Amino acid sequence: MAGKPKLHYFDARGRMEAIRWLLAAAGVEFEEKLIESSEDLDKLRYDGSLVFQQVPMVEIDGMKLVQTRAILNYIATKYDLYGKDMKERALIDMYTEGVADLGEMIMLLPLCPPDQKNTKLTLIQDRATNCYLPAFENVLKSHRQDYLVGNKLSKADIHLVELLYYVEELDPSLLANFPLLKGLKTRVSNLPAVKKFLQPGSQRKLPGGEKSLERARKIFKF
């Protein structure tokens, strides 16, 4: 019997959090091997575990996978969260890329110089309310189904709901005019596996703040 997937990253959201969300939503237990120093990272690099010398890295099914999208696609395929045919997978990929666009802006916000942070935050709020959130709201409105693609839970729904939590952290009012997105968030959050993941004490990572950023700087030397 295969062991639990093992996730190699530092103790923060970063590019690993979407992987944690997807595994949790699929009901898959996983272990975390936390990178706590630059020496820990160097050890993975020198022993050949990191094809491109970077994390996230996930050990699963005898492989050491890197590159976030590749990891997510493998998990989604393995646990039937990637549509029933090529057309559905294309839509799932399209929506996932839209989520990633806005998610990347939010993830990189803490790295902004202090004198640019307000400008960047305003840009994120504008893109969220005038582009990305309306686009996803319209998808749900167009077919009046519970999920984005094929009326079945997919990785696109899970990634979008994760994003909606981050949007609410920035500004809870941003979702006010998007009732179908709020409904999707509630629906997915109430799935037993996701509900468990959202409980205190789970492997879900909370906003890290300045301490998390400083830890990342020490590990990745930036």
Q: How far apart are CA 61 and CA 160, in angstroms?
A: 27
pLDDT of 212: 84
Q: Which two tokens stand for residue 24?
A: 């949790």
pLDDT of 222: 80
pLDDT of 199: 97
Residue pair 58/44 in contact by the 8 Å Cβ criterion = no
Q: How far apart are CA 3 and CA 188, in angstroms?
A: 27
Q: What is the largest CA-CA distance in the chain?
A: 53
Q: pLDDT averaged over consecutive 10-residue blocks of the chain (222 residues)?
A: 89 96 98 96 96 97 98 98 98 98 95 93 97 98 97 98 97 96 98 98 90 88 82
The packing angle between helices 155-170 and 179-189, to 10°, is: 110
181 φ/ψ angles, rounded to the nearest 5 degrees: -70, -40
Q: How far apart are CA 118 and CA 172, in angstroms?
A: 17
Strand ranges, E, within 138-186? none
Length in residues, the chain? 222
Query: Which DSSP helix (H) or strand (E) runs through 60?
Result: strand 57-60
185 φ/ψ angles, rounded to the nearest 5 degrees: -60, -45
pLDDT of 103: 97
**Strands 6-9 and 63-66: what pairing?**
unpaired
pLDDT of 172: 93
Residue pair 139/160 in contact by the 8 Å Cβ criterion = no
